[in-house]
C-alpha cells in the first residue's frame, strides 16, 4: 500500500510525456506515447470499426499482450502476458488509468455469475479512438445490442443480448486496456480528478434509486450498510430527503458519514423497530433483506442493492404479510453522477482507503475484502 491513499491527479492536459493528443485525429496518428512504448504496449488497431478511418499503419498494428487481473477457475490471477480480445465493431480501446474494486468483484470471485476473464468495471481511462480519442472517459458497463425491443424502449441495461464489462462475457478494467462500446463512453470533465471520476459507476448506481422512486413519498429512510455503496447511496438520498439514517457495523466508516452530516447508528446499538418508510439494503450480505424487513413499516418499500453469490434467500413471508414493495436496483445514470461529482454534491475522496499498482492487484483484492477498507483503487498507469 502506498503511504497516502488519496491522490489527486492533475485533471487537465495530456496524460503522457511526449503525447500530443489525438482528439482531432481518431486515426491515432499521434506521437507515440512514451508510456506505451515503455510498457511495451502497442496501440491496438485490429479490425475495422464503425469509425472506419484507421490508417494503413494502424490497421497493421497488432494488439500486444497486457498486464491484467483475470478470474480463472482457480481464482483470481495476475497475468503479465494476457492476450486481450480484439476490438470489435463499435468498440473503442480505452487505456485504463485508475480502476476501483467493488463488492461485485468480490462476489464474482466467490462464483457470482460464473464469470471468467478480466475483472473490473469501475474505471477512468483515455479513449484511443473515435470521437473522444485522447480524452479521459468513463464507461457504462452494459454493452447492449441497440436493436432489440428493450433497447428500443431505452432499457438497454436490461438487453437480453448484452455483455457487461468485467461481469458477463466481456473483459473488464483491471488491465492496461479495455474495449468499450463507443456509445457507453462519457467524457470526464476537466475539473474532475481521476480519483473522483473512478467513482462515476458506483455513484450512478446510487442515483438509480431516485430514478426509480419518487423520494418525496418517503419520510424516514434507512440505509443498511456503511460500505462503499451504502455511503454513496446515503449521500445521494440525503441530498433530497432530511431524515436518512445509516446503520452499519464499523465505527470508522460511520464516522465518514457523520462528517458529511448524515445520522448513523451501530447495528448492535439499534433496537430493530419497524419505523422506516424506505430501507435500502447495501449490506452485501444475504441477511440484509431479513434485517430490512425488521426495519420497514408495513406497506413500506425496500430497495435491494445487494447482489451476492449463491441462491440462499430469506423467507419472503414478511413481504407478503406486510405488503412490502421490493425494488431491485442496479446500474444508473452516468450523466447525473458526473454532474454530482462536478458540483461536489457527493464526497467521494474520503472513501479511498488504499491504492495499489495493477501488479499488486491480488494484494488489492485481499485488502478490499477486509472490513477496514472502503474503496481500494488500482493505479494502472502510475504517475
Ligand atoms: Zn461496482
Ligand atoms: Zn438489446
Q: Write the pLDDT tens digit of every residue in 151-209.
A: 999 999 999 999 999 999 999 999 999 999 999 999 999 999 999 999 999 999 999 99
Ligand 2 center to 163 CA (angstroms): 10
What is the reported pLDDT for 39? Answer: 35
> pTM score, two decimals?
0.83
Task: Tell me which of 140 and 34 has the higher pLDDT.
Answer: 140
Residue 247: which of 295, 188, 209, 201 has the closest Cα? 295
pLDDT digits (tens, 9 = 90+) for 202-223: 999 999 999 999 999 999 999 9
Distance CA 352, CA 378 (A): 11
Ligand 2 center to 167 CA (angstroms): 17
Distance CA 380, CA 136 (A): 14
Residues with CB under 5 A from ligand 1 (ion): 102, 104
- Of 49-58, 89-98, 133-142, 283-292, which range is least confident? 49-58
Ligand closest to CA 158: 2
Ligand 2 center to 138 CA (angstroms): 21
Ligand closest to CA 375: 1
Ligand 1 center to 201 CA (angstroms): 7
Ligand 1 center to 100 CA (angstroms): 8
3-state class of 281 per DSSP? strand
Query: H or E element: which one contains 234?
Result: helix 228-240
pLDDT digits (tens, 9 = 90+) for 245-294: 999 999 999 999 999 999 999 999 999 999 999 999 999 888 899 999 99
What confidence category does residue 383 fall into, taking pLDDT thresholds of 50, 70 and 90?
low
Ligand 2 center to 171 CA (angstroms): 19
What is the reported pLDDT for 314? Answer: 74
Ligand 2 center to 93 CA (angstroms): 22
pLDDT digits (tens, 9 = 90+) for 30-61: 223 333 333 333 333 333 344 444 443 344 34
Distance CA 12, CA 30 (A): 18
Ligand closest to CA 165: 1
What is the reported pLDDT for 7? Answer: 52
**What angle is formed at CA 346 by the lines to CA 343 and CA 350, rounded to 5 degrees?**
120
User: Taking a C-beta distance cutoff of 8 angstroms, is the pair 15, 126 a contact?
Assistant: yes
Ligand closest to CA 142: 2
What confidence category does residue 16 fall into, taking pLDDT thresholds of 50, 70 and 90?
very low
Residue 223: which of 239, 201, 238, 212 has the closest Cα? 238
pLDDT digits (tens, 9 = 90+) for 338-372: 999 999 999 999 999 999 999 999 999 999 999 88
Ligand 1 center to 123 CA (angstroms): 10
Q: Report all structural domains of the chain as residue ranges with CATH numbers, in order of start.
A: 34-199+348-379 (3.90.180.10), 203-328 (3.40.50.720)
Amino acid at each position: 500500500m502506498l503511504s497516502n491513499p488519496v491522490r489527486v491527479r492533475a485533471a487537465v492536459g495530456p496524460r503522457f510525456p511526449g503525447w500530443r493528443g489525438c482528439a482531432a485525429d481518431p486515426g491515432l496518428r499521434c506521437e507515440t506515447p512514451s508510456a506505451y512504448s515503455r510498457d511495451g504496449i502497442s496501440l491496438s488497431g485490429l479490425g475495422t470499426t464503425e469509425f472506419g478511418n484507421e490508417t494503413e499503419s494502424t490497421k497493421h498494428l497488432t494488439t500486444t499482450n497486457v498486464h491484467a487481473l483475470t478470474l480463472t477457475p482457480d481464482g483470481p490471477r495476475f497475468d503479465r502476458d494476457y492476450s486481450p480480445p480484439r476490438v470489435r465493431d463499435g468498440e473503442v480501446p480505452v487505456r485504463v488509468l485508475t480502476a476501483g474494486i467493488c463488492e461485485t468483484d468480490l462476489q464474482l470471485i466467490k462464483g457470482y455469475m460464473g464469470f471468467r476473464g478480466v475483472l473490473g468495471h469501475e474505471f477512468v481511462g483515455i479513449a484511443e479512438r473515435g470521437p473522444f480519442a485522447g480524452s479521459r472517459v468513463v464507461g457504462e458497463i452494459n454493452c447492449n445490442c441497440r436493436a432489440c425491443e428493450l433497447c428500443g424502449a431505452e432499457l438497454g441495461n436490461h438487453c437480453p443480448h448484452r455483455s457487461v464489462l468485467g461481469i458477463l462475457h466481456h473483459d473488464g478494467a483491471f488491465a492496461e486496456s479495455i474495449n468499450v462500446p463507443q456509445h457507453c463512453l462519457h467524457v470526464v470533465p476537466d475539473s474532475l480528478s481521476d480519483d473522483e471520476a473512478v467513482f462515476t459507476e458506483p455513484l450512478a448506481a446510487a442515483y438509480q434509486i431516485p430514478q426509480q422512486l419518487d423520494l418525496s413519498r418517503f419520510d424516514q429512510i434507512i440505509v443498511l450498510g456503511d460500505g462503499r455503496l451504502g455511503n454513496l447511496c446515503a449521500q445521494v438520498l440525503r441530498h433530497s430527503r432530511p431524515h436518512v439514517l445509516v446503520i452499519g457495523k464499523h465505527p470508522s466508516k460511520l464516522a465518514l458519514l457523520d462528517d458529511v452530516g448524515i445520522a448513523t447508528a451501530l447495528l448492535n446499538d439499534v433496537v430493530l423497530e419497524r419505523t422506516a418508510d424506505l430501507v435500502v439494503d447495501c449490506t452485501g450480505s444475504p441477511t440484509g433483506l431479513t434485517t430490512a424487513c425488521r426495519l420497514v413499516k408495513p406497506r413500506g418499500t425496500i430497495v435491494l442493492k445487494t447482489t451476492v453469490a449463491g441462491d440462499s434467500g430469506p423467507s419472503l413471508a414478511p413481504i407478503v404479510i406486510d405488503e412490502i414493495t421490493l425494488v431491485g436496483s442496479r446500474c444508473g445514470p452516468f450523466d447525473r453522477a458526473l454532474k454530482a461529482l462536478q458540483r461536489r454534491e457527493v464526497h467521494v475522496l474520503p472513501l479511498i482507503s488504499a491504492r495499489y499498482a495493477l501488479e499488486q492487484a491480488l494484494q488489492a483484492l485481499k485488502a478490499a475484502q477486509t472490513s477496514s477498507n472502503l474503496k481500494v483503487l488500482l493505479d494502472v498507469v502510475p504517475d
